[in-house]
Homo-oligomer: A and B are copies of this chain.
Amino acid sequence: METSSTRQIVESLTKAIVEHRLHPGTKLAEQKLADHFGVSRTLVRQALFQLSQNRLIRLEPARGAFVAAPSVEEAKQVFAVRRMLETEMTRAFVRQVTPSKIKALREHVAQEKRAVDNQDVPGRTELLGDFHVRLAELMGNQVLAELLRELISRCALITLMYQSTNAAEHSNEEHVAIVKALAAKDEETAVRLMNEHLMHVEENLTFDRKLPSNDISLALS
């Protein structure tokens, strides 16, 4: 199971949704997707099911798949969970910090900065989110990393892509500050900065509801 065809479809659709080439509410007809990817509906259905588990699309019985349009309420809940998780993660990180871990984080934020400076919107979105996943990975907790990745991709649909260049720069600067506090093993500061950072990201949410784009092929091409 889990052939690479389906993975490719999932990735392609995920990218299109997160980058808002496919707007919330857009219908994803199975046959059209199948034609576009040159496979049968079987594989498309697998991919759609997977995307529905990631909350990127909604599946309605006998009606089909639609790009998800998370409510403000849901977004707030996701952020509340992230704050809970990442507060404690930051605390735990300080207790087991090593120079090589700090080095890895510094390299990451440097990469973020390049993407932000280059106005590489998809790139910076991914990297800014990955910072949080990297923290989990460096702690050696793969379960935590996967969970965070899931939560962040769920946010991405509603937040990071709406981020202005300014907001992205701000995020990057906050990451730098967090790394600094981590390096200094200053637990309380690190935790406070992380919490503030997540609040800032949340504040930047814009809940524009754009009209569905009905031309799937165009959005994916």
Question: Contact: B80 with A1, CB < 8 Å?
Answer: no
Q: Does A81 contact B (CB under 8 A)?
A: yes
Are the CB atoms of B1 and A59 closer together than 8 Å?
Answer: yes
Q: Are A80 and B141 also in contact (CB < 8 A) when A49-B46, A85-B85, A87-B88 are?
A: yes
* Cβ–Cβ < 8 Å partners of A80 in chain B: 92, 141, 143-144
Contact of A1 among B50, B61, B92 (CB under 8 A): B61
Contact with B along A77-91 (1 / 0, CB 8 A): 110110111011100
B84 and A89 contacting across the interface, CB-CB below 8 Å: yes
What string of 1s and 0s marks CB contacts (under 8 Å) between A57-91 and chain B? 00111101100000000100110110111011100
The answer, yes or no, to whether A3 is at the interface (CB within 8 Å) is yes
Given the complex of chains A and B, what is the CA–CA distance between A153 and B65 in angstroms? 27
- Range class of the A interface residue count: 20 to 34
Interface pair B1/A144, CB less than 8 Å apart = no
B2/A81 in contact, CB under 8 A: no
- Which single member of B53, B65, B92, B142 contacts A84 (CB below 8 Å)? B92
A92 to B80, CA, bound (A): 10
**How far is A48 from B46 in the complex, measured between Cα atoms in Å?**
12
**A81 pairs with B46, CB closer than 8 A:** no
Tell yes or no: A184 within 8 A of B by CB: no
Decide if A83 touches B88 in the complex (CB within 8 Å): yes
Q: A39: CB under 8 A from chain B?
A: no
Q: How far is the CB of A137 from chain B (nearest CB, A)?
A: 12
Chain B min CB distance to A72 (Å): 13
Binary contact readout A168-190 vs B (1 if CB under 8 angstroms, 0 otherwise): 00000000000000000000000
* Chain B hits for A64, CB < 8 A: 1
For the complex, is A147 an interface residue (Cβ under 8 Å from B)? yes
Say whether A1 contacts B84, CB under 8 Å.
Answer: no
7 contacts between A and B (CB under 8 A): A1-B62, A1-B64, A2-B61, A46-B49, A53-B53, A81-B141, A87-B88
- A residues whose Cβ falls under 8 Å from a Cβ of B: 1-3, 45-46, 48-50, 52-53, 59-62, 64-65, 74, 77-78, 80-81, 83-85, 87-89, 92, 141-144, 147
